Each structure stands twice: as structure tokens, then as C-alpha cells.
Amino acid sequence: MALIEFSQFTNGSALQIGDTVVGLRGGVNTKFTFSAVLSVTGTANQITVSGTTAPIIAIANNAILPGSAGITLPGGNTAARAGTGIFV
């Protein structure tokens, strides 16, 4: 087995689309390319997903929430809400 030495590593922070990463898979040097999210799917009448490279995930209109544990809705009226964010 050949000894492969790497020089210095630099902190590259978060992966970005198009980045190439090298590492080991099953003991073999391998090059990995980060292309994008492979897939994101929602559940009918619960979660909607739109977009491909930057998916947007949202609660469906008239959502049907499964289970029997319950859900907590925010209290207060419109005036009591924070001034930022998306309101539906």
C-alpha cells in the first residue's frame, strides 16, 4: 500500500454546491462531489416542497396533522406577533 501524505488542511466551512471532497470509502481513496440535495419529498396534505437546488418546505394548505398527541398553536392576536418572518 502506498503512503499518501497530504499537505496542510484549510478550514473550508460549510459545503457548497460543486465542491469536491476527498476521503476514504472502504479503505480506498475516493473523490466525492457535492452536487445538491438528492431529493426532498413531502407527505400529501401535510408538507409541501417546491424548488430543486434550494428546496422550500412548508406546511400544506388545510394541513391534516397525523397522530393523537396534539399541537400547540401560537397565542395572541396579529398585533402580538413579531414584526419579522412570514405569516400565513
Torsions phi, psi for 29 (to 5 deg)? -60, 130
Q: Would you list the domain boundaries of the chain?
A: 38-65
Q: What is the DSSP letter of 76?
A: S
pLDDT tens for 14-72 read: 777 788 888 888 888 888 887 766 677 888 888 888 877 677 888 888 888 888 877 77
Does the pLDDT value for residue 84 go beyond 70? Answer: no
* pTM for the model: 0.38
Three-class SS state of 65: coil
